[in-house]
Amino acid sequence: MCLFVRRLTRRAADDDAMSLRRVNVAVLVLLAVAFLIIVQRNLLNLNDFLRSENPDAVPGMILPFESEFSPELRPDLVRTGEKIPVVITAAEERLGAVVAAMNSVYQNSKSNIVFNIVTMNDTVDHLKVWMTKTQLNNVKHTIIIFEPQLLNGKITKNPQKLDSVKPLTFARFYMPVFIPDAEKAIYLDDDIIVQGDIQELFDTSLKSGHAAAFSDDCDSASAKGIVRGAGNQNNYIGFLDFKKDAIKKLGMRANTCSFNPGVIVANLTEWKRQNITNQLEHWMELNAQEDLYSKTLAESITTPPLLIVFYKHHSSIDPMWHVRHLGATGAGNRYSPQFVKAAKLLHWNGHYKPWSRTSSFTEVWDKWYIQDPMRKFHPVRKHAD
């Protein structure tokens, strides 16, 4: 009997100890939750304080440069091995676009990337500050001054069309001139963001005798993003006037699928051997004299001469390395967020740019933008609701 009572007493003591431990655990959990709530409130108060102290903050505007949009920059790497020359243009009014594009290329690759930035003389100082006073200061780059005199006699003199001609858009024609020692190079428009390793794009295989690779406008990834309107912007008749004798004599089919020259992988050795630059200049001069381009031309005026010179004589880029038309009307409905996330390269060709008020998927671009240290370039954002 005494033994039985001892066992009951011991079991009761064990139950009391277990209950006490459970209470202690519950109290600790409640204390941890309370601590996290206090920390969160302090952080929010700090954020409000920083906003109030920011002299450039505009009330009612979404600030795209806060920490939640900024990727964690990887420590600078020692980049050796084969150089990957990337040619990109830098217009003063779009300088923020170039910075975001280069940042996305650089941060998503461990390769030995060298940017060849083609710009106008009056933009050099601003560009240098942006490259040296931000996290781009370790990025290998060369600044190349574009001389507009190169275009004398090669572009229209029509005053109504002349305003829309941007000299830097023709820089892609002169890649072998800008980087004469390179055998292969990549050209990128400034309104792109790269989400894959640029080495993969650089390794694109070009067929024998081909000087360049482009992404066809009929490819599976971007075909649903074809620009509709006056003329068909996915074939040659949307870019060239097939009623003109000079075009007729070429024997090209008007319904041939066109390509977009916003991303180019170029074999510069073959480019020089075939005198591609001279051929392009010839068609530019002839157009200035005879107006060979389509009257419904909605895209870059650099496309028509490239279509002529590379007619059925170019290689193809993986469609996921040039997902485009993000700058067109309805792009937000055309592409799913999952598809955009999976794309290796995004291109906001079209009227609506990711640094402007009405573009789709601006949050992707914001992620790579680096604020202008001179505070001249200011992306526009919608007013918050």
pLDDT digits (tens, 9 = 90+) for 244-258: 999 999 999 999 999
214: alpha, beta or left? (left if phi > 0; alpha if psi -120 to 50):
beta
Task: Look at residue 332 in the predicted model and tell me its pLDDT.
Answer: 85
203 CB neighbour count, 10 Å cutoff: 12
pLDDT attached to residue 329: 85
% of the chain surpassing 70 pLDDT: 72
For the record, the structure tokens of 264 come out as 């180019």
Query: Would you tell me how many other CB atoms lie within 10 Å of the CB of residue 132?
Result: 10
**pTM (2 d.p.):** 0.78
pLDDT at 309: 98
pLDDT of residue 349: 92
Q: How far apart are the first and last CA of the chain?
A: 78
| pLDDT score, position 194 | 98
What's residue 40's pLDDT? 52
Which residues have a Cβ under 8 Å from the Cβ of 215 and sit 6 or more positions away?
222, 259, 260, 263, 316, 317, 318, 319, 321, 322, 324
pLDDT given at position 344: 98
Model pLDDT for residues 75-123, shown as the tens digit of each residue:
455 778 899 999 999 999 999 999 999 999 999 999 999 999 999 999 9
**Residue whose structure tokens are 């066992």:** 7
List the chain residues with pLDDT less than 70.
1-77, 157-164, 219-233, 297-299, 381-385
> What pLDDT digit, counting tens, does each position of 4-48 carry?
334 434 444 455 555 656 656 666 666 666 665 554 555 444 444
Structure tokens belonging to residue 109: 């690759």
**What is the per-residue pLDDT for 231?**
40
